Amino acid sequence: MGEIIKVGMADLKIGRAPDTLTTLGLGSCIGLTLYDPAAKIGGLVHYMLPDSTKLKNNTNIAKFGDTGIRELLRLILEAGATKRKLVAKIAGGASMFEMSGLSSIGSVGERNAEAAKQLLKELQIPLIAEDTGLNYGRTVELNCENGDFLIKSVGRGSKVI
Amino acid sequence: MENFTLDHVNEMYMDVLREIGNIGAGNAMTSLASMINEKVDMHVPKVELMEASKLGSAICPEDEIIVGIFLEVTHDISGSMMFLMRMDSAHYLVDRLMGTATGKDDPFNEMELSALKEIGNIIAASYLSALSSMTNMTIAPSVPYIAVDMAAAILSVPAIQFGQYGNNALLIETEFGDEQMINGYFILMPEENSYAKILSSLGITL
């Protein structure tokens, strides 16, 4: 049995087989994983907002998609993963309440997911699975042994993507 | 004027925010007491300033299921507010209101969800009316939206809202009840420029 490594909100961690990386209760945030199946090294970032350049106060790099994903990539390569073997999966980006669009955060879940897709394209890392949007929370686990991404939701059971 | 964020609040701002929390929560509890026909006692609310990214575990474990009621706020200030309860408190209130006996872990049906929305609506409206009369501003709430889900997922909404402007968030905890004490949590999330309006209407210059 490997270690279960917990990733908080605005946080990122790297693990290797047989570890499991987990984050609890993703709402509008995104949980993005990078995984190298040959080296069996994985990484998980739990970011809150899509873009650090839109804000003045942007010191916490794991809080934003752009800086968080780049930092996760830097760390996983440093840990021994190979860039061209990396694959990505994402989950989260829900709209927890059906808002009218008055609030500035109404569509943040969707924008968070979009930010991941764009940056992955730019970094040339294939996005091989996603479970995003809708209106419920997700707890996720990345198994560093095989890259399985387990998603658990309240009243909806669990699935592996 | 430099935009106000919760990253540089001093003691005086905290006192003001605490007082708004206090009066607002007091108002809300009075309405609630008349609704469930019970004389309720209330403890002084606790106002806690914390890192926005820690909100997910501020009330209970991150994957515990809670009830969140969300309203948008418009007119003289804009923003949103939330009222949160753990499941045992939510079940207790629903049972009192509807004369049912739901189990602590039962999912809510449509009727019960709409009763909870109404509870949230009344609590939020009385909270906002306290804020409104203190500041002499017109503050109107939207219809309430409800979610029953993992605490961290529901609290990601205010965490992101606060996270847009700074690193800190403000959580107000109230405790009220008679035979059984109920915990409820308020989060008021003004848009960036509305903080300054609230504070200056109270005669505080930034």
What ipTM does the predicted assembly reach? Answer: 0.90
Closest CA to A104 of B127, B189, B75: B189
Which pair of structure tokens corresponds to residue B108? 């809510």
CA A56 to chain B, closest CA, distance in angstroms equals 8
Which pair of structure tokens corresponds to residue A121? 């394209």
Residue B1 scores a pLDDT above 50? no
pLDDT on residue B186: 86
Among B21-35, B90-104, B137-151, which stretch is predicted with the lowest mean pLDDT?
B21-35
Q: Is A29 in the active site?
A: yes
Inspect the interface and report whether the beta carbons of A108 and B72 lie closer than 8 Å.
no
**pLDDT tens per residue, range A101-146:** 555 566 889 999 999 999 999 999 999 999 999 999 999 999 999 9
The continuous run of DSSP H or E covering B24 comes out as helix B11-36
Strands A20-26 and A4-6: parallel
Residue B135 scores a pLDDT above 90? no
Which pair of structure tokens corresponds to residue B18? 């605490």
Mean pLDDT value across residues A39-64: 89
Distances (CA, A) of A32 to A29, A115, A138: 10, 11, 13
Question: Distance from CA of residue A68 to its chain's centroid?
Answer: 9
CA B91 to chain A, closest CA, distance in angstroms equals 18
Measured at the CA of B12, the angle between CA B10 and CA B14, to 5 degrees, comes to 70
- Which chain A residue is nearest to residue B70, measuring alpha carbons? A97
pLDDT on residue B142: 86
Please tell me if residue A140 touches chain B, with a CB cutoff of 8 Å.
Answer: no
Question: Distance from CA of residue A24 to its chain's centroid?
Answer: 12
> Which one is predicted more confidently, B87 or B23?
B87
Mean of pLDDT over chain A: 92
Decide: B146 and B117 in contact? Cβ < 8 Å: yes
Rounded-to-5 percentages of helix, strand, coil across chain B: 45, 25, 25
Q: DSSP code of A50?
A: S
pLDDT on residue A131: 97
**pLDDT tens per residue, range B15-71:** 777 777 778 777 877 877 777 776 777 777 787 888 888 898 998 999 999 999 998
Closest CA to A117 of A93, A138, A96, A94: A93
pLDDT on residue A90: 97
> Which one is predicted more confidently, B136 or B13?
B136
What pTM was computed for the model? 0.89
